[in-house]
């Protein structure tokens, strides 16, 4: 059996960013991917913040996989609407399959090895005692090493449709619990005439009923060109790193990305946090407890704030959501978010600068 300093399982963004970081630290890495290539099948909308993509550009030049630039977001309640508009692109719609293949290409160019078509599910397949589980929301590595569970998931559906969004540079987000209870719905323009339309629902809710409601609201009758269903984890695991002794050998196991539940519970976005935590997992692969401490120090508060907001949205009825939107507009929160809003790192908004921005907004 070929062995390495670090064995990374899963060649999504978390696994590839993890592998390339380990390689750059001078480690011998083996990356295993169950599919025959990186970037397929795609289970993602590919909406990523401009600030996030900037932080990932040492690996992927996002301009090479950008489909559309987003400068506006229309947040819909049942009847009320809240619009955010920015002078520069706040996010990009990327071709997610291409993003992953470009990352894999960069890893290969830097000398990285990936074994495709290899699904890792047992101890005998592990190629190192330092393991990074980046194997997505239903992680085999988490199961193999008895990690504490992810306690909250939502079930999602998305299709690509011939559909003209109201504006080519605006995403439409639906916060209506009568349509997508326990999560959100979205219409993300790819170009003037095509959009990714999807939604998620909480546990025990009816996804196919939700899908019908959204398509009927948007008056879409045509079939999608490509559609899928998938799970999004909405909370991090209590522990994302363990050092168990198995058959007399000490293993260092770190989980990152969806496998760890490092996803924004507001929107389901996980590319940025997964890739950044993947990098941290690689830097501390021999000391997983330190990895668990470091990622929580850096991003734990952000993910917690996303989670609090999710719990807040989930507690509202459709009418309550409308009332909330009215209140936010009255308090000029839309203007504040346009000036100081962050898409990923919400903790950056807990600053004196934001307070100053709010004072400016209120006195305008």
Ligand X SMILES: Cc1cc2nc3c(=O)[nH]c(=O)nc-3n(C[C@H](O)[C@H](O)[C@H](O)COP(=O)(O)OP(=O)(O)OC[C@H]3O[C@@H](n4cnc5c(N)ncnc54)[C@H](O)[C@@H]3O)c2cc1C
Q: Residues interacting with ligand X, by CB under 6 A?
A: 9-15, 32-35, 43-48, 119-121, 134-136, 140, 156, 158, 198, 230, 232, 257-259, 263, 268-272, 274
Place of tokens 């074994």: 115
Distance CA 336, CA 119 (A): 47
**Cβ closest to ligand X, residue 158 vs residue 176:** 158
**Cβ closest to ligand X, residue 17 vs residue 82:** 17
Distance CA 227, CA 215 (A): 13
Cβ at position 96, least distance to ligand X in Å = 7
Cβ at position 167, least distance to ligand X in Å = 18
Between CA 68 and CA 73, with CA 70 as vertex, the angle to 5 degrees is 140
Cβ at position 98, least distance to ligand X in Å = 14
Distance CA 16, CA 13 (A): 5
**Cβ closest to ligand X, residue 19 vs residue 321:** 19
The backbone torsions φ and ψ at residue 208, rounded to the nearest 5 degrees and listed phi first, read -75, -30
DSSP per-residue string spanning 279-341: HHHHHTTT-HHHHHHHHIIIIIHHHHHHHHHHHHHHT--HHHHHHHHHHHHHTTHHHHHHHH-
**Cβ closest to ligand X, residue 197 vs residue 357:** 197
**Cβ closest to ligand X, residue 280 vs residue 357:** 280
**Cβ closest to ligand X, residue 138 vs residue 328:** 138
Q: Which of 198, 207, 203, 209 is nearest to 235 (CA)?
A: 203
Cβ at position 356, least distance to ligand X in Å = 30
Cβ at position 77, least distance to ligand X in Å = 21
**Cβ closest to ligand X, residue 288 vs residue 322:** 288
Cβ–Cβ under 8 Å, residues 175 and 167 = no
Cβ at position 110, least distance to ligand X in Å = 18
Cβ at position 188, least distance to ligand X in Å = 7
Cβ at position 322, least distance to ligand X in Å = 25
Cβ–Cβ under 8 Å, residues 224 and 159 = yes
Cβ–Cβ under 8 Å, residues 86 and 338 = yes
Q: Which of 256, 183, 252, 186 is nearest to 214 (CA)?
A: 186
Distance CA 358, CA 139 (A): 42
**Cβ closest to ligand X, residue 239 vs residue 326:** 239
Cβ at position 273, least distance to ligand X in Å = 8
**Cβ closest to ligand X, residue 45 vs residue 152:** 45
Exposure b/e, 14-40, CB count within 10 A at least 16 = b: bbbbbbbbbbeeebbbbbbbbeeebbe
Q: Which of 2, 38, 49, 19 is nearest to 256 (CA)?
A: 19
């Amino acid at each position: 059996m070929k062995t390495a300093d670090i064995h990374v399982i899963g060649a999504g963004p978390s696994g590839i960013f993890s592998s390339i970081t380990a390689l750059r630290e001078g480690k011998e890495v083996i990356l295993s991917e169950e599919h025959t290539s990186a970037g397929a099948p795609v289970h993602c909308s590919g909406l990523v913040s401009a600030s996030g993509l900037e932080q990932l550009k040492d690996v992927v030049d996002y301009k090479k996989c950008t489909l559309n630039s987003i400068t506006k977001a229309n947040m819909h309640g049942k009847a009320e609407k809240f619009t955010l508009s920015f002078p520069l692109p706040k996010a990009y719609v990327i071709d997610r399959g291409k993003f992953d293949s470009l990352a894999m290409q960069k890893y290969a160019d830097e000398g990285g090895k990936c074994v495709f078509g290899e699904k890792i599910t047992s101890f005998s397949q592990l190629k190192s005692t330092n393991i990074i589980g980046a194997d997505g929301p239903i992680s085999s590595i988490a199961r193999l090493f008895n990690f504490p569970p992810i306690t909250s998931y939502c079930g999602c559906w998305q299709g690509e449709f011939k559909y003209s969004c109201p504006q080519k540079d605006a995403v439409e987000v639906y916060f209506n619990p009568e349509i997508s209870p326990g999560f959100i719905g979205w219409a993300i323009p790819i170009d003037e005439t095509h959009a990714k339309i999807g939604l998620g629902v909480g546990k025990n809710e009816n996804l196919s009923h939700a899908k019908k409601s959204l398509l009927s609201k948007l008056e879409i009758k045509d079939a999608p060109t490509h559609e899928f269903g998938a799970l999004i984890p909405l909370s991090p695991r209590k522990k994302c790193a363990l050092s168990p002794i198995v058959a007399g050998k000490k293993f260092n196991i770190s989980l990152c990305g969806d496998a760890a539940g490092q996803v924004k519970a507001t929107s389901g976005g996980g590319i940025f946090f997964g890739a950044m935590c993947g990098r941290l997992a690689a830097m501390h692969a021999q000391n997983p407890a330190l990895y668990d401490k470091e990622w929580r120090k850096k991003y734990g508060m952000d993910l917690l704030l996303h989670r609090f907001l999710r719990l807040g949205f989930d507690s509202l009825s459709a009418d309550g959501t409308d009332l909330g939107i009215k209140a936010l507009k009255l308090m000029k929160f839309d203007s504040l978010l346009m000036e100081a809003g962050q898409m990923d790192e919400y903790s950056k908004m807990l600053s004196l600068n934001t307070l100053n921005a709010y004072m400016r907004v209120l006195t305008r």
